[in-house]
Amino acid sequence: MASPLNGRTAALSLQLSQAHRELRRRLTDVRAALGRRTRADDTLLTHCLAFCTALMNHHQGEDDGLFAALVRQRPDLAPTVAKLVEDHGFIAHILARVRELAEQATATPGADLEAIGRELDGLAAIMESHFGYEERAIGAALDAGLRDRDGWSQPVLRFRAPQKPSP
């Protein structure tokens, strides 16, 4: 019978996969909404910003919670975690570009939405590769269970409250 800790870490693996599925779905929705528009509007900007915030919060929760606790338990995973954190930085750069393009498009009548679409296409490819690698490497470690409770008594998939935009 699995220990409660192993059950919890296996549940985290499942939660990680579910979060990735939801983020994929949200990106698909943003891309579909973009494809139906001939010009940018506030709705498009809101959808882009909501997606960007969700993905950034997910990665921040992993970096500050899950990954930190995992490396304490499994120092052998430090290189894997370092690669994933590096990916998070790269993805953050793309998300900043998407935000910038969405804001510009909303402010400029007749703006070209194809640039946003290209960035989102690239982001989708990178996300798919990143999520797959993360689910294989981190999911396998979580599914195998951990030997010690230290670091796992607190929530390890922490999320910050979304930042409210300045007026």
Q: Per-residue pLDDT tens for 102-159?
A: 888 888 876 778 888 999 999 999 999 999 999 999 988 888 776 555 555 555 555 5
Find out whether 123 and 98 touch, Cβ atoms under 8 Å.
Answer: yes
Taking the model in full, what pTM does it have?
0.81
Domain 4-144 fold: Four Helix Bundle (Hemerythrin (Met), subunit A) (1.20.120)
DSSP state of 150: T
Which one is predicted more confidently, 121 or 163? 121
Nearest alpha carbon to residue 58 among 86, 101, 22: 22
pLDDT for position 138: 92
Contact present, 27 and 120 (Cβ < 8 Å): yes
Q: Which of 158, 145, 133, 18 is nearest to 83 (CA)?
A: 133
What is the Cα gyration radius of the chain? 18
What residue segments make up the domains of the chain, in order of their start? 4-144
Instruction: Check whether 1 has a pLDDT greater than 70.
Output: no
